[in-house]
Every structure is written in structure tokens, then in C-alpha cells.
Structure 1
Amino acid sequence: MKSQRGQALVETALILPILLILLFGITDLGRVFHAYLTLDHAGREAARVAAVGAEDGKINEKIELATSSLNQGKLKKDIDPKSKESRTSGIEVTITLTYSIDLLTPLISTMIGPIKLENKTVMRVE
């Protein structure tokens, strides 16, 4: 019978890349889910502040505080209607937050590219 000393090394070399891709994929999924929940929370907080009649500066400040764990350079904010004067009682204010997240897994990131997350929250102005 021949020696089988290198069998474990070959099996490890075949399985290790699959396990690493799976591990990094789970990490990427967690990062995307965290960013999604953060955008959802920030949208709700900002829409509530806008619904009670706050200035745009206060709304943007609330968004920045709620999304402090995200890269602010990749975050796009849109408040509709644009000015406080046009947000009268009874109309709806819409806060739209868009964030692009880059994946860490090399093989998956080249196939999929960055993931664009968008959150839209609508509240009636009081």
C-alpha cells in the first residue's frame, strides 16, 4: 500500500478557499444588513424631525448622528419638499437616503460590484 501522508494537505488546499469565501461572504452580509438597518433608523428619525417642523440643518444633523457608523462620503440625502416653508401641515415629507457599500470578498465583489441601498421614509407633517 502506498503512503497517504499528503492526503490531508491536498484536501485542506481544496477546501480552504471555499471556506474563506463563505466566511467573507457572511461578513459582507452582516455589513450590508447593518448598513440597511442604520439607513432605516436614520430615515425614520429624520422624517420625524421634519414632520414636527424642524429646519433642514436639524434634519441633516439627525441623519449624520444616526449614520455615524457609515462612511458619510458615500451617503446621499434628499428631503422633499426642499424647504421648511413648503412643508405645511397635512402634506407628506419624504426622506430618501442612498448608500453604496463595497463588498470585501474578492470573488463576489468583482462579480456583483458595490451594493446600492436606498431607504425612503414618508411622514405627514403635523
Structure 2
Amino acid sequence: MISEPTRPEAWGREHGAAAVEFALLLPLLVLLLFGIVEFGLALHRHQVLATASREGARAGIRQTVPRPTAGDIQQAARNVLTQAGVAGASGVVVTGAGGASGTDLIVTVETPYRFFVLPSTVPGLRGPVMLRSRTVMKHE
């Protein structure tokens, strides 16, 4: 006859260990998840700003008569921001609009970005973070 292996009595006291470990690690896992989501949203916003500054610069370097003005370039950048759903862009700064062929045109787009969940847990993220993108192109 085969007998059952004997179990030490300590095995019976470990039933809740996995639940306790999970309860200890759950806040860290949730914080990591929210961090990934929030930094992904910030990266997306930065990519929209980069696209807006590129489109503004591209609109400004075209060889047209009359040459695009700073207002035309700003409007091209703001159109991209509007299409992407970015409201409240604090600034589209244009330097070198209407310049001679071969000179630099600089378009800078910036907007504040406020994290949603992380500021309550990470002290360094309490205020808004200024996201900025700068594009330099030569006039055609």
C-alpha cells in the first residue's frame, strides 16, 4: 500500500501569502500602468507639436508670390493643432518669415501639458510641463 507523503504543518499557514503579496504590489503596478499611459499621452502631444512646427515651416519656405507672412505660418501651425484636438497652444513663434532664399526660417510651437494622475503621487509633476518643438528650414 502506498502511503501519502506527510506535509509539514507550516504548509497550512501559507494560504493567504499570495493575496498579501498581491496587495503589496498592486499599488506599484497601478502606478506603473498610469505612468506608461500618461507619458504616452505626453509623447503624443509632443509629436503633434512637432508636426505643427514642421507644417508651419513648410508653409513658410515655399517660393510663392507674395511670400508667406508670419501670420500665414502661424495659421498653418494652428490648423494642425486644431485638427489634432490640441486646444490652448500658448505660442507659435516665427522667426525669419519672408526671408531671402537660403536664409533660415524658425518655427517654435509650445504648449503646457498637465499630467492627470501622477501629480498626486510624484511631487515633481505638480505643475504643468511646457512641451516645445522647434523646426528650422531654409527658404527655397
Q: Verify: 1:59 aligned to 2:73, yes or no.
A: yes
Which amino acid in the other structure matches residue 11 of structure 1? E
For structure 2, the residue ranges without an aligned partner over 5 or more in a row are 1-8
Task: Quote the offset at 1:67 in angstroms.
Answer: 1.7
For structure 1, the residue ranges without an aligned partner over 5 or more in a row are none
Which amino acid in the other structure matches residue 92 of structure 1? D
Q: Verify: 1:45 aligned to 2:55, yes or no.
A: yes
Task: Provide the C-alpha distance between the structure 1 equivalents of 2:124 and 2:46, rounded to a whole number of angstroms.
Answer: 21
TM-score calculated relative to the size of structure 2: 0.72
Q: Verify: 1:28 aligned to 2:42, yes or no.
A: no
- Which structure would you say has the larger RCO, counting Cα contacts within 8 Å and 6 or more residues apart? 1
What root-mean-square deviation, in Å, do the aligned CA atoms of Structure 1 and Structure 2 show?
2.2
Task: Quote the offset at 1:46 in angstroms.
Answer: 0.5
Task: Quote the offset at 1:70 in angstroms.
Answer: 4.9
Task: Kindly report structure 1 stretches of 4+ aligned residues shifted beyond 4 Å.
Answer: 1-6
- Secondary structure of residue in 2 paired with 1:57: helix
Does the 8 Å contact 1:35/1:70 carry over to 2? Answer: no
Paired-residue identity, %: 28
Cα distance per residue 1:33-62 (max 9 Å; x no partner): 111211111111100111123233332222
